[in-house]
Structure 1
Amino acid sequence: MAAGFRGGFLAVALAALVASGGAAHAAKCGNDGGGFEAWKAAFTEEAKAAGVKRGGLSALAGARYATATIKADRGVKKAFSGSVESFMQRRGASTIISKGRSLKKSNAALFDRIERQYGVPAGVLLAIWGMETGFGSYMGKQNTVSAIVTLAYDCRRPDFFRPHALAALKLIDSGALSANSVGAMHGEIGHTQFLPGNVIRYGVGNRDLRNREIALASTANFLRGHGWKPGAGYRANMGAIAGWNAAKVYQQAIAIMAEAIDK
């Protein structure tokens, strides 16, 4: 899941922010690390008002300004540039399709069970899984809390990332994450790279998305929650795929690979 392009905010966190009388606006954003620690102090009060407990607050206190995350965020547009064909070539689409077909066959019972429960076929789940982490071979090495808190502070898209930062802290309180958890550059988590707010909203079971079965079922639940129409085909479900990632080349690549995997 390429960061910053996923839909869905954490409803409970937003409600808590409204109830706190607009505390979200007390903390000012920044374009470098110079004001990060002062911002964290203000954000700590916001987090308390949103219901974050001791574990989450401790993780927030230990968060560091993630320079690598900012660098990656500034390169997002370039990552989704060019034609669908060039994007698919860069991302190894032929390998994803080949391995996706193999995994679909060897895990038929799992994918059948997920489709029965959520109405989402194997192809799109495998295409996303392959695109995001190479089927779990690389789930990132950036500290999740530092990454998502840095993006909540950064002036580029603070309103988008602030609810996800609060969600990450709540996931620490619940035990689904730890202060030392690592993932992708924008704070995405697990096999299919969920942003923290979406883990809370769409994660199933114990929400441990390092477990591939939970991650795949959660991804199906996300797509269903974004309007997936069972049996309607991929072209008819581009809106649900767009909920996962707003980049057109990504959406088209996922649909193409999904169809090829299912064939």
Structure 2
Amino acid sequence: MRVFFSTLALCLTASFAQAQCGGSFSGFVNGLKDEAASRGHDRQSVDQFFGSVRQDPKVIAADRRQGVFQLPFTDFARRLISSGRINTGKSKARQYDAVFDRIEREFGVSRGVLLAFWAFETDYGSFQGDFNTLNALVTLSHDCRRPELFRPQIFAALKLFENGDFDPRRTTGAWAGEIGMVQMLPQDILDNGVDGDGDGHVSLKTSAPDALMSGGKMLQHLGWRAGEPWLQEVSVPDNLDWSQTGLRTTKPAAEWAAKGVTPRHGQIAGTLPASLILPQGRKGPAFLAYPNFRVYFEWNQSFTYVLTAAYFANRLEGGPVFDAGNPEQGLSGEQMKRLQQKLSQRGYDVGEIDGILGAGTRAAVQDVQQQLGLPADAWPTPALLNAL
């Protein structure tokens, strides 16, 4: 499920960003071997590590196929969240209560947050992906679409191999190279791996304590703030200035309350900065997003996935089912692509024309709505598309 990559994978050196790609696959692998040797790795270990690597066309096919992220929030959330997943999450919380206590004490990450990731990434470890990890990383590095994302992960996997924690022939995971119950990239494992069960190894595939502790440390490393909320469902008044909504605008939560925003559960954290997000416009669900919510984007960069994971974390800790409201009709995938093309022609940076309502498209929609005198709630509708 993690098809948008962690910021750790994006923080690359200029040499990696300019890494070669394409050409003969065998020649590409030989180049990787030479680079590994130049980094000081033993040549025999390098040859052993790369000895079984193969190009995997199924990885490229998976990279191009991300249609699930075209779903609106309510549909996406209902697809991922079931009573079975909620019940299993509560059971896992009881089973690993001591581990979660330790995570909350050492890293400040609430158990619902990690339970939600565990559920969405691998269904609590039951399916962790069956792609050979090294094949996936080398295939994606050879592909010229985003080699700078994946090439560093190959050398991180090599270090794990030298530590005895990676088998180039047998280690499997997601198509994009993530490993284990909470799906972490090799560099993330090197930086944040924790031996939670005390056996001397970091085994994210077979040890829930290792996986959960590592996930908690990674979130802390990414900026998680202990003891603070991440997302809170709210109700909004009809006369709000919709142009102030979205992640681009942050106000003290108390200021949102003064404008008539009211919590559906608990109390508004008045002293914390917060953004008011409307995933399906002013007539759909509404949430206050606190600073911890932004940390989710360091794990995954899909707005819909992040919002669903944050909401599910609340549900696992006793929060209510969100009020779906009555949002205006949205756009189909093809309509969204047409909208993105029109926005791009107007000079907006919407990223790839992929039919996904990402941050760039939302920001552009909100600007254009203001220009056209429409409610600027960042929710694209057929009426907006026709107006353009």
1:59 aligns with 2:49: yes
Is the 1:39–1:153 contact (alpha carbons within 8 Å) kept by the matching residues of 2? Answer: yes
SS in 2 for 1:191: coil
1:45 maps to which of 29, 34, 50: 34
Partner of 1:75: 65
Following superposition, the deviation at residue 71 of structure 1 comes to 0.7
Following superposition, the deviation at residue 104 of structure 1 comes to 1.0
The structure with the greater share of residues assigned to helix is: 1
Is the 2:16–2:148 contact (alpha carbons within 8 Å) kept by the matching residues of 1? Answer: no
Partner of 1:222: 218
SS in 2 for 1:214: helix
Partner of 1:183: 173
- Equivalent residues in 2 for 1:121-136 (5 A)? 121-136=110-125
Residue type of the alignment partner of 1:183: G
SS in 2 for 1:62: coil
- TM-score by structure 1 length? 0.88
Following superposition, the deviation at residue 57 of structure 1 comes to 3.6
1:3 aligns with 2:3: yes
Residue type of the alignment partner of 1:133: T
Partner of 2:300: 245
- What are structure 1's unaligned runs of at least 5 residues? none
Is the 1:10–1:167 contact (alpha carbons within 8 Å) kept by the matching residues of 2? Answer: no
Tell which deviates more after alignment, 55-64 or 251-260: 55-64
Following superposition, the deviation at residue 56 of structure 1 comes to 4.1
SS in 2 for 1:80: helix
Alpha-carbon distance in 2 for matches of 1:130, 1:23: 33
Residue type of the alignment partner of 1:28: Q
1:29 maps to which of 21, 29, 34: 21
Is the 1:190–1:209 contact (alpha carbons within 8 Å) kept by the matching residues of 2? Answer: yes
Partner of 1:255: 310
> Could you tell me the percent identity over the aligned residues?
36
1:97 aligns with 2:65: no
Is the 1:56–1:170 contact (alpha carbons within 8 Å) kept by the matching residues of 2? Answer: no
1:209 maps to which of 191, 201, 204: 204
Alpha-carbon distance in 2 for matches of 1:169, 1:57: 11
Alpha-carbon distance in 2 for matches of 1:153, 1:63: 12
Partner of 1:164: 153
1:234 maps to which of 230, 241, 245: 230
Is the 2:141–2:149 contact (alpha carbons within 8 Å) kept by the matching residues of 1? Answer: yes
Residue type of the alignment partner of 1:29: C
The alignment of Structure 1 onto Structure 2 pairs a total of residues equal to 251
Alpha-carbon distance in 1 for matches of 2:315, 2:81: 14
Residue deviations 1:48-70, cap 9 Å, x none? 22333333442223210011111
1:138 maps to which of 107, 124, 127: 127
What's the Cα RMSD here?
2.1
Tell which deviates more after alignment, 252-261 or 202-211: 202-211
1:147 aligns with 2:136: yes
Is the 2:4–2:302 contact (alpha carbons within 8 Å) kept by the matching residues of 1? Answer: no
Residue type of the alignment partner of 2:308: A
Residue type of the alignment partner of 2:167: S
Is the 2:16–2:151 contact (alpha carbons within 8 Å) kept by the matching residues of 1? Answer: no
Quick check: which has more Rg, 1 or 2? 2
Following superposition, the deviation at residue 97 of structure 1 comes to 2.3
Following superposition, the deviation at residue 23 of structure 1 comes to 8.5
SS in 1 for 2:93: helix
Residue deviations 1:187-230, cap 9 Å, x none? 11111111111111111123221211011000001110111011
- TM-score by structure 2 length? 0.61
The 1:10/1:244 distance shift into structure 2, 3 A limit, reads closer
